[in-house]
Structure 1
Amino acid sequence: MFLRATTAPLSLLALIAAPALAQEVNVYSYRQPELLAPLTEAFTEATGIKVNVAFLEKGMVERLQAEGSRSPADLMFTVDVARLAALVEAGVTQPVSSEVLEQHVPAQYHDPDGNWWGLTTRARIVYASKDRVDPAEVTTYEDLADPKWKGRICTRSGTHDYTIGLVSAMIAHHGEEYTKTWLEGVKDNLARKPQGNDRAQVKAIWAGECDISLGNTYYMGQMVNDPEQIEWANSVNVLFPTFEDAGTHVNISGVAMSKAAPNRENALKMMEFLVSPEAQEVYAHANYEYPIAPGSEADDLVKGWGDFTADETNLMEIASHRSQALKLVEQVDFDG
């Protein structure tokens, strides 16, 4: 079912059966509706175009393929370049060419063929114990394999999209052989078997189970605003490692236009609205992420974590190494 972002629920069946409506746009989203609400409401207020959001927990590609040319979806919202690349590979997107999008989205944050466009970024950083880790100790991702960290690292599963993204980036920078050795070194330094989500790693640092962990930046924003988790957040520093001779690994949230898009003109208007500095700041504030558009600023809380230089490797190049990354994670039995 679509949830109309500005009015009452609307039947999906009715949407499929009805002709395209001139003043609406339909969204499939892996992001929860409350995270999109500030944007959809601002877009409707600015344009008069209603936004209908269908939140999906999984199966977006399969649903779009099953619906084919009858799909009511105009836009797809998701996080992680892997999911965006999967939409492209499945043939359910269409390329979008727009001077506005080109102006506001740096080249490394959109598909070279225009099939998806980044909206915000999140850095893959190190959470480090304030009591047990000197921030100067944390320098590069490569350094995480150094024996000085033996028994001190916590992380989530090696097969999770976030971990695979970092491993893929390591392959892009150093190749498979180096990355396999690096993965073996990181595994040797783990304090416990990979488990839980990014916030669970921070809880483990707070509990003294490990000293550092990998995580996405926005989780700090979520933790400091959660009464049950703020103590975890206050126990760590946010540190920005880099690749040797490069920047900090980032991933994105992004948007793609459906191949079927019954309201293409309205969908393009929404895409262009989303990359405007004003909308970027609204979206970044709601999600504790970094806006992409030049001239836009992050939330004050996010800026308080410090500055960093993002790795400039195109995310589609990183995504192209994901199958190799998964193979290496399995070869070294990272989760074993």
Structure 2
Amino acid sequence: MAHLTSRVAALTLIALACQGAAHAADAVLNIYSARHYQTDEALYKDFTKQTGIQVNRLDGKEDELLERIKNEGANSPADILITVDAARLEIADSLGLFQPVSSKVLDARIPDHLRTPTWVAFSTRARVIVYNKRAVKAEWVQTYDDLANPRLKDQVCVRSGSHPYNLSLGAAMIAHEGEAKTENWARSLVVNFARAPKGGDTDQLKAVAAGECGVTISNSYYLARLMRSAKPEDRKVIESLGVVWPNQKTWGTHINISGAGVIKTAPNRAAAVKFMEYLSSDKAQAYFADGNNEWPAVSSVKIDNPALKALGTFKPDTMPVGDLARNAAKAQKAFDRAGWR
């Protein structure tokens, strides 16, 4: 398996794609991936083992990969784009980079709300509320709206409002509660900040545990990572934290996704569809849970992840991921006006 990371890698991928076409149809699959998890290697190796299709991967940031595919045009070796966040996939789709995928396997395996005609979600992660058990009571933070309550003034730590994870949450709130109410919520949230937004979700969790702030919002898999860690300092962080599944009495806890789409000019389309179908298999779905602490998109898959089991079950928001993605730009404007940067 080639792990390609440089400009030279793009030329190598082109050569490999041509080589694959010359020697055996769909014997090669070229993946552009913005999932930066080393554990995903197991997925690619298992797919090759099952199908004999060699996987070549180009890793990069989402914007860089989208720009590369656009610039490569019809000569792009890319067969599939994999990334996290529904809004990012929708941006790729709006640029005309994906092609429709018709698959009875995907239709049967992936729930309707987790797929569109051109891209599909394969795993989910929840945006949960995490609080310091010594400083904040669970009943104070049962909804996302509660985070804007004046009694949490100087208590909220959070990452940037321009980050896709928060924009996705804002997009969901706009869909459920309207743009004006979401902007007012963001304004009050900013008033409650304990500090200016900085760092990632893990940084927020550690700040809450240290008492620098009382509450935060975090993607669930960051929390699960700390729960599964063998490091004493991580275990100490977890001991200080409580977790709430927000909005269980209304529209449910917001979820975001990891997903993929087949590139319109894919030179190895059949292999690309096979890979998409493979990602929906029980084995691959269980891997998302056990390898990276995400929930499978296929609800019937049994998982063996002690952290996810400890977190328990919850009512997720089942808004169609395509609708969620289309509100992200509105969320960005609302957050900018509210001063959440």
Structure 2 length-normalised TM: 0.91
Q: CA deviation at 1:33?
A: 5.9
Partner SS, residue 128 of structure 1 = strand
Percent same amino acid at aligned positions?
Answer: 38
Q: CA deviation at 1:13?
A: 4.6
2:81–2:261 CA contact under 8 A, matched in 1: yes
Q: CA deviation at 1:145?
A: 1.4
Query: What is the match of residue 154 of structure 1?
Result: 157
Establish whether residue 100 from structure 1 lines up as the match of residue 101 from structure 2.
no
Query: What is the match of residue 211 of structure 1?
Result: 214
Query: What is the match of residue 133 of structure 1?
Result: 136
Establish whether residue 31 from structure 1 lines up as the match of residue 35 from structure 2.
yes
1:16–1:71 CA contact under 8 A, matched in 2: no
Q: Which runs of 4+ in 1 moved over 6 A?
A: none
Corresponding residue to 1:327 among 333, 337, 340: 333
Establish whether residue 14 from structure 1 lines up as the match of residue 20 from structure 2.
no
Query: What is the match of residue 119 of structure 2?
Result: 116
- Which string of whole-angstrom CA distances, capped at 9 and with x for unpartnered residues, describes residues 242-272 of structure 1? 2762111000000110111111111111111
Partner SS, residue 193 of structure 1 = coil
Partner SS, residue 311 of structure 2 = coil
Q: Distance between the aligned counterparts of 2:257 and 2:251, measured in 1?
A: 18
Q: Against the structure 1 CA distance between its residues 195 and 185, is the aligned structure 2 distance closer, same or farther, given a 3 Å change threshold?
A: same
Establish whether residue 303 from structure 1 lines up as the match of residue 309 from structure 2.
yes
Partner SS, residue 154 of structure 2 = coil
Structure 1 length-normalised TM: 0.92
Partner SS, residue 124 of structure 1 = strand
Question: Structure 2, unaligned stretches of length 5 or more?
Answer: none
Corresponding residue to 2:176 among 155, 158, 173: 173
Corresponding residue to 2:53 among 44, 49, 53: 49
Q: Distance between the aligned counterparts of 2:124 and 2:102, measured in 1?
A: 21
2:17–2:30 CA contact under 8 A, matched in 1: no
One-letter amino acid of the structure 2 residue matched with residue 279 of structure 1: A
Q: Distance between the aligned counterparts of 2:163 and 2:186, measured in 1?
A: 14
Corresponding residue to 1:238 among 235, 243, 246: 243
2:122–2:297 CA contact under 8 A, matched in 1: yes
Q: Distance between the aligned counterparts of 1:220 and 1:97, measured in 2?
A: 36
Q: Which stretch shifts more, 300-309 or 212-221? A: 300-309
Q: Distance between the aligned counterparts of 2:40 and 2:58, measured in 1?
A: 11
One-letter amino acid of the structure 1 residue matched with residue 313 of structure 2: D
2:20–2:28 CA contact under 8 A, matched in 1: no
Q: CA deviation at 1:295?
A: 1.2
Q: Distance between the aligned counterparts of 1:178 and 1:302, measured in 2?
A: 32
Question: Structure 1, unaligned stretches of length 5 or more?
Answer: none
One-letter amino acid of the structure 2 residue matched with residue 269 of structure 1: K
Of Structure 1 and Structure 2, which has the larger fraction of its residues in helix? Answer: 2
Q: Which stretch shifts more, 293-302 or 318-327? A: 293-302
RMSD over aligned Cα atoms? 2.0
Q: Distance between the aligned counterparts of 2:37 and 2:14, measured in 1?
A: 20
One-letter amino acid of the structure 2 residue matched with residue 105 of structure 1: I
Q: Distance between the aligned counterparts of 1:306 and 1:118, measured in 2?
A: 22
Q: Which stretch shifts more, 313-322 or 79-88? A: 313-322
